[in-house]
Amino acid sequence: MKNILVIGATGQIGSELTMELRKRYGNAQVVCGYINGAEPKGELKESGPSAIVDVTDGNAIEEVVRTYRIDTIYNLAALLSVVAESKPRLAWKIGIDGLWNVLEVARSRGCAVFTPSSIGSFGPETPHVMTPQDTIQRPRTMYGVTKVTTELLNDYYHTKYGVDTRSVRFPGIISNVTLPGGGTTDYAVDIYYAAVRGERFVCPIQEGTLMDMMYMPDALNASIQLMEADSQRLVHRNAFNIASMSFAPETIYGEIRKHLPDFEMVYEVDPLKQAIAESWPDCMDDSCARNEWDWKPQYDLESMTKDMLEKLTARLKGVK
Ligand code: AKB
């Protein structure tokens, strides 16, 4: 039986991943790890165990892993790309010093570890179209620097100490439950909220800027499926390109307008976000993930948009 700790469990991905893991492995088997000021609420709080786990405190991680006999850690603690540019030291402290703590506990207690990387691990010199699995990674952002380091440190702990580290490079994740914060791809979530509220959307990313994106159910499946994959088949580990859709602002806008023809969008480009977006891939080649652990997304832009608009409309009207 698996005993799982999710660190950063009240964040955008963590809150939904914790619930999905509880659905699959049992409520009592999945500990929601959170920090002071980001306490779990509602179903996330009620449905299973929770514990304060600050990733920068190795002893706290060790204590929770021992108490709950944890064998698998999903480490989602990180600052996103835009906010990391204004707090680079903190981004390193959480992303890398924190990861070091997690890996040390995993090494001494035999845990498997999932710590996501991102499209942010690539940079301007990376081939932008069908970005290969193994390619140039010279990011210019602190977020990217921490993500490349994450990949390398994970590989190091695997080859040197045999820790079962696995990871994916997440595209921008779109969800209708918990909002992201401080990312470059956040516009692709915000646009749905504006559409459903009947507001005009001010887009911070320039027309024609392509980025990989993914609907949350596919991101959750990818994380869990990779951790369950047969290790004998894994040639790569940290971190797999995964892809499902790539679009520019005008394409997602056009898709939403098929459902809400009066929806309006204007551009007010944010120079920092734009520079970051331009340094990232237009679309990634995820054939290694498909070959090594049968990765296959379920959603494209059309099916995601239909589902997002239905779910958000129901939620904003107060219907569950
Ligand atoms: C961000 O925009 O910073 C994140 C990411 C792509 O990793 N959503």
Could you read off the pLDDT of 280-301 as tens digits, one per residue?
A: 999 999 999 999 999 999 999 9
Could you read off the pLDDT of 85-124 as tens digits, one per residue?
A: 999 999 999 999 999 999 999 999 999 999 999 999 999 9
Ligand 1 centre and the CA of 161: distance in Å? 30
Residue 318 has pLDDT above 80, yes or no: no
Q: Report the pLDDT value the prediction gives residue 89, as an integer from 0 to 100.
A: 98
Determine if ligand 1 sits within 6 Å of the CB of residue 170: yes
Residue 310, amino acid:
E
Determine if ligand 1 sits within 6 Å of the CB of residue 120: yes
Mean pLDDT for the stretch of residues 67-71: 98
Mean pLDDT for the stretch of residues 140-151: 98
pTM for the full predicted model: 0.96
- What pLDDT band is residue 1 in, cutting at 50, 70 and 90? low
Active-site entry in 34, 74, 143, 253: 143
Mean pLDDT for the stretch of residues 237-257: 97
Q: How far is CA 7 from the centre of its chain?
A: 13
Ligand 1 centre and the CA of 87: distance in Å? 15
Residue 179 has pLDDT above 90, yes or no: no
Domains and CATH numbers, the chain: 4-171+216-241 (3.40.50.720), 172-213+243-316 (3.40.50.720)
- What pLDDT band is residue 181 in, cutting at 50, 70 and 90? confident
Residue nearest to atom 7 of ligand 1 (CA): 118
Residue nearest to atom 1 of ligand 1 (CA): 183
Q: Is 143 designated active site?
A: yes
Q: Of the residues 76, 79, 81, which should be mutated to test ligand 1's pocket, given the most ligand atoms within 8 Å of the CB?
A: 81
Instruction: Lay out the sheet containing 211-215: strands in order across.
Output: 172-174, 211-215, 245-247
Mean pLDDT for the stretch of residues 202-224: 98
Question: Cα separation of 4 and 237, whole Å?
Answer: 20
- What pLDDT band is residue 25 in, cutting at 50, 70 and 90? very high
Residues 6+ away with beta carbon under 8 Å from 227: 72, 74, 112, 114, 166
* Bridge-based pairing state of the strands 168-170 and 240-241: parallel
Mean pLDDT for the stretch of residues 242-262: 98
Structure tokens given for 171: 């595209």
Instruction: Lay out the sheet containing 4-7: strands in order across.
Output: 50-52, 30-34, 4-7, 72-75, 112-114, 165-166
Residue nearest to atom 8 of ligand 1 (CA): 172
Question: Cα separation of 215 and 192, whole Å?
Answer: 13
Question: Cα separation of 176 and 190, whole Å?
Answer: 10
- What pLDDT band is residue 245 in, cutting at 50, 70 and 90? very high
Determine if ligand 1 sits within 6 Å of the CB of residue 53: no
Task: Identify the helix (H) or strand (E) that includes residue 139.
Answer: none
Report the mean per-residue pLDDT for the chain. 97
Residues 6+ away with beta carbon under 8 Å from 273: 82, 184, 187, 204, 205
Question: Cα separation of 101 and 45, whole Å?
Answer: 25
Determine if ligand 1 sits within 6 Å of the CB of residue 172: yes
Ligand 1 centre and the CA of 108: distance in Å? 31
CA distances to 213, 248, 254, 309 from 259, rounded to whole Å, are 20, 18, 9, 8
Mean pLDDT for the stretch of residues 172-178: 93
Q: Report the pLDDT value the prediction gives residue 319, as an integer from 0 to 100.
A: 56
Ligand 1 centre and the CA of 222: distance in Å? 16
